[in-house]
Chain A
Amino acid sequence: MAATLASANPFQPGGGLHPCQLRAQQQAQQQRASQSHLSSSDTNSQPLISSNRKLTLADFRRVRTLGTGTFARVVLVRPATGTESDRQKVYALKILRKTEVIKLRQIDHVRHERAILSDVSGHPFITNLLASFSDTDFLYLLLDYVPGGELFSYLRKWRRFDEDMARFYAAEIVLILEFLHEQQGGVAYRDLKPENLLLDEEGHIKLVDFGFAKRLGNNANEKGNNPVETYTLCGTPEYLAPEVIQNKGHTTAVDWWALGILIYEFLTGYPPFWHQNPIEIYKQIVEKPITFPSDPFLSPEAKDIIKQFCTVDRSRRLGNISGGAAKVKAHPFFRGVDWDAVYHRRDKGPIVPPVRFPGDAQCFDIYPEEDVGRDPYTEEMRDRYDEYFKDF
């Protein structure tokens, strides 16, 4: 199956891209020696990633695993062939196991992930899809490597963030949601949480894992009658919006609810609704008003924005109400934020990850490298399901 290139040209320099990524892209595009001490002079080989070149797993050398799940694993890879400078490049390769995708009935989600990622590539705070391909057993998404690791790890290590830090990350997320909801035709992300926010080399956010993202359509100029709400329950228990739990049909408004939970967790170190038994979490989300601890002290502005996001009534939920993201940006919690500077990444993040060289993976935890006990992808499965994966 031919590798398909993301529709936005990933090698287009500019667009507020991180200098580190820019560097990688220039290397690929111009095939010149980078100024990095890691590279030697280059010859005239083909670039690894191009729209007319078929990628396979054999094109990559696995360095180590960056994260795992039941049907997916993300691996840091380097090109296996090419010039020495080609082989110094690093990418994140997300590997999805077809059998598990089918077994867990996640085919639609995987297809949405591939399609939406390619549509949204190029945003300064969203992970960049470079290519996708597949083989007998697996689907592959080739992504820019984001070396700073998960914001989750920093948050847990720090226990909590002060309001300036929380504001910095929240502001970048507001721009992501504005982009997804209002400029991308109603894309709901549906799995916002610190685990899905990576930090790049300068400490800016990169949103990863679009496995639950779905295009719902919200084009304000469109008068069609397609439903815009969706019904599949997905997300992370502590971050689920009440309308998801209650099966009411949900929309992009779920992401604003989750942002409220996220800011709360940034500021206190834990989410507002928590219990060892997930059912109790869901009861709390649906029935219990959000409460704040006396310590740490949260400013009235912070409490207010959290409460306004975490409002059960969607006709009152900030972000979902008239004005959309613009109204969020105007909230007192974000007073003084220069939104243009945020978008253009003019300031470094409050945490600058200790990344020592482009392929440094020390900010990621260590995971087992081997899958165990997996069912094979049978010929029947291939005959029945492979057509669903043809976009890879």
Chain B
Amino acid sequence: MSLPEAYQKEIEALNQQLLSFNPTDILQFCADHFLQRLASERAAFLASNSSASPRKTSDPPSPSMSNPTFTSPFGSGSNPFGSGNMQNVIEEEDDVVGSPTGPSFGNKATPAFKGPFGAGPFGGDSSSDGPPSAFRSPPNADSYPAQYNFNRRTSVSAESLKPVADTDDNWTPPVHQKTPEQLARLKKAIEGNFLFSHLDEEQNNLILGALQEKPIPAKDIKVITQGDTGDYFYVVEKGKFDVYVHNGPANELGRELGNKVTTIEAGGSFGELALMYNSPRAATVVSAEPGCTLWAVDRTTFRRILMESTFARRRMYEGFLGEVPLLSSLTAWERSKIADALETLKFPAGTIIITEGEPGDSFYLLEEGEAHAFKSGNSNPVMEYKKGDFFGELALLNDAPRAASVIAKTDVKVATLDKLAFQRLLGPVEGIMRRTRYDGVASGVEDVDPLSAPA
């Protein structure tokens, strides 16, 4: 029997390589050579079938889903031999585990490829190592969440954004006019969405202002297309939209809509993932009737609005904190930690924010509005507070009762932090105070804060 022609070709190629490199470690050289050959041969094979390989969705803008996804170099799900889909992995749970990291790991669909060294990827007999002590039997396989995807997970990233304060441009959020009725409808449409529900009123208003009208005059207009790059989030003001998901090979996308999975009506929304990062659309959305109206906002606008407002507020908090004598020795990093933990509260005019005689556990920064401090038996305020002032900070230091009441003069917004949160983050205030010579400052605190009881 003669040797196969393909084999002879490989050997000839190897001979050529050997001659040109003249290595001393022949075996190593041959092993490297064939590994390289194998990898490129498999790659060529795959390129011809690439669309069959299931893939996680986080692709960059690309017409074909078969491109490797955006990922960190080790994070790709594009490994041809390891990219078995769920079903394959689950089937394999019954198998005896022969090797922990074989190239064919997790995929029964390519049983022919057992790795370059024969019996198995770890080539039990060709390796001088015994099985590592840890490779006994695996723990019992059971109770995985249904449909859990065992593949490598793709990293995601939004465009890097820097606050205006750090850059030269003069970005301001776009404002598109809306009627009060429209505003009310849009507000209702987004308030239940977890990407919006935690926003404060100011942020919400900026986002609502930035929503831009997109009239969809006719039926059967594709608003978003599965697999396409996604930049916009949409709210439906008027009309109906059908949602289709196509589960076939990626290269059929665009030709077929796939199955209709749901209909979105007025007050609904879609495309929210695009507000986080650029990822291919998971479905196609088509207008189901003429005369529809959508409102849209893009990721960069959304993220910039939130970033600018958060950034400004944090700098404000840090500035306020810098004014508190008790906290004057905090580093920028520590002030930032405190700013993380500050909680915003609003009080209507006339509300008692803290009550004289009660134990103090929280400290307040006045963000907006004005407040007064009163002491019992004295109808005139003993202190007036405006934006940037603070009160109750001695609560961070001791449990002494409040020395005065503070009442909101106007509607106020305060940022507050309780003693326990402060201590969890930075330890006892006493320790912070000890960093700087604090002699004499005690009385300074008294001067600033009428709420402190005389020591």
Listed in ascending order, the chain A residues whose CB lies under 8 Å from chain B are 38, 40, 62-74, 78, 84, 87-88, 94, 100, 103-109, 149-150, 152-154, 156-160, 162, 165, 186, 191, 193, 195-196, 203, 208-209, 211-212, 217-229, 231-238, 243, 245-249, 251, 253, 269-270, 274, 276-279, 282-283, 286-287, 293, 295-296, 313-316, 320-323, 350-354, 356-357, 359, 361-370, 372-373
Across the interface, B337 reaches (CB within 8 A) one of A68, A70, A287, A320, namely A320
Cβ of B79 < 8 Å from any Cβ of A? yes
Inter-chain CA distance A64–B147, complex, in Å, is 33
Given the known interface contacts A69-B76, A236-B153, the answer about A270 and B426 at a Cβ–Cβ threshold of 8 Å is no
Query: Is the pair B332, A224 in contact by a Cβ cutoff of 8 Å?
Result: yes
Across the interface, A160 reaches (CB within 8 A) one of B38, B67, B139, namely B139
Inter-chain CA distance A38–B32, complex, in Å, is 14
Query: Is the pair B74, A351 in contact by a Cβ cutoff of 8 Å?
Result: no
A-B contact pairs, 12 of them (CB 8 A): A38-B28, A69-B75, A70-B71, A104-B70, A191-B72, A195-B152, A209-B75, A220-B331, A231-B311, A235-B156, A236-B154, A293-B143
Query: Is the pair B38, A236 in contact by a Cβ cutoff of 8 Å?
Result: no
Chain A residues with CB below 8 A from B306, complex form: 247
- Please give the number of chain B residues whose Cβ is less than 8 angstroms from any Cβ of chain A in the complex: 112
Inter-chain CA distance A365–B75, complex, in Å, is 12
Query: Is the pair A64, B39 in contact by a Cβ cutoff of 8 Å?
Result: yes
Query: Is the pair A237, B153 in contact by a Cβ cutoff of 8 Å?
Result: yes
Taking the closest CB of chain A, its distance from the CB of B157, in whole angstroms, is 4
Query: Is the pair A84, B314 in contact by a Cβ cutoff of 8 Å?
Result: no
Cβ of B272 < 8 Å from any Cβ of A? yes
Query: Is the pair B132, A270 in contact by a Cβ cutoff of 8 Å?
Result: no
Query: Is the pair B60, A227 in contact by a Cβ cutoff of 8 Å?
Result: no
Inter-chain CA distance A351–B99, complex, in Å, is 12
Chain B residues with CB below 8 A from A64, complex form: 32, 35-36, 39
Inter-chain CA distance A235–B81, complex, in Å, is 25
Query: Is the pair A356, B128 in contact by a Cβ cutoff of 8 Å?
Result: yes
Chain B residues with CB below 8 A from A368, complex form: 39, 42-43, 46-47, 78, 80
Instruction: Tell me what chain A mostly uses at the interface: helix, strand, loop, or mixed.
Output: loop
Taking the closest CB of chain B, its distance from the CB of A320, in whole angstroms, is 7
Closest 6 CB pairs of A and B: A368-B43, A315-B341, A153-B101, A234-B157, A72-B73, A69-B71
Query: Is the pair A249, B310 in contact by a Cβ cutoff of 8 Å?
Result: yes
Q: A212-B157, A232-B160 provided; 16 other pairs, C-beta below 8 A? A: A63-B36, A64-B39, A70-B68, A88-B25, A149-B101, A165-B134, A219-B333, A223-B332, A231-B311, A234-B157, A234-B277, A245-B195, A249-B311, A279-B273, A315-B337, A354-B129
Across the interface, A369 reaches (CB within 8 A) one of B39, B97, B122, B163, namely B39
Query: Is the pair B100, A351 in contact by a Cβ cutoff of 8 Å?
Result: yes
Q: Which chain B residue lies CB-closest to A148?
A: B101
Chain B residues with CB below 8 A from A218, complex form: 333
Taking the closest CB of chain A, its distance from the CB of B139, in whole angstroms, is 6
Query: Is the pair A276, B149 in contact by a Cβ cutoff of 8 Å?
Result: yes
Inter-chain CA distance A277–B56, complex, in Å, is 11
Query: Is the pair B341, A70 in contact by a Cβ cutoff of 8 Å?
Result: no
Given the known interface contacts A232-B161, A369-B39, the answer about A354 and B314 at a Cβ–Cβ threshold of 8 Å is no
Inter-chain CA distance A227–B117, complex, in Å, is 54
Inter-chain CA distance A78–B418, complex, in Å, is 59
| Chain B 132-151: CB-based contact to A (< 8 A → 1; otherwise 0) | 11110011111111011110
Given the known interface contacts A227-B315, A251-B340, the answer about A157 and B138 at a Cβ–Cβ threshold of 8 Å is yes
Chain A residues with CB below 8 A from B156, complex form: 233-237
Query: Is the pair B139, A191 in contact by a Cβ cutoff of 8 Å?
Result: no
Cβ of B318 < 8 Å from any Cβ of A? yes
Across the interface, B194 reaches (CB within 8 A) one of A84, A282, A372, namely A282
Chain B residues with CB below 8 A from A236, complex form: 75, 153-156
Query: Is the pair B134, A367 in contact by a Cβ cutoff of 8 Å?
Result: no
Query: Is the pair B68, A278 in contact by a Cβ cutoff of 8 Å?
Result: no
Inter-chain CA distance A84–B333, complex, in Å, is 52
Chain B residues with CB below 8 A from A104, complex form: 60, 70, 157, 278
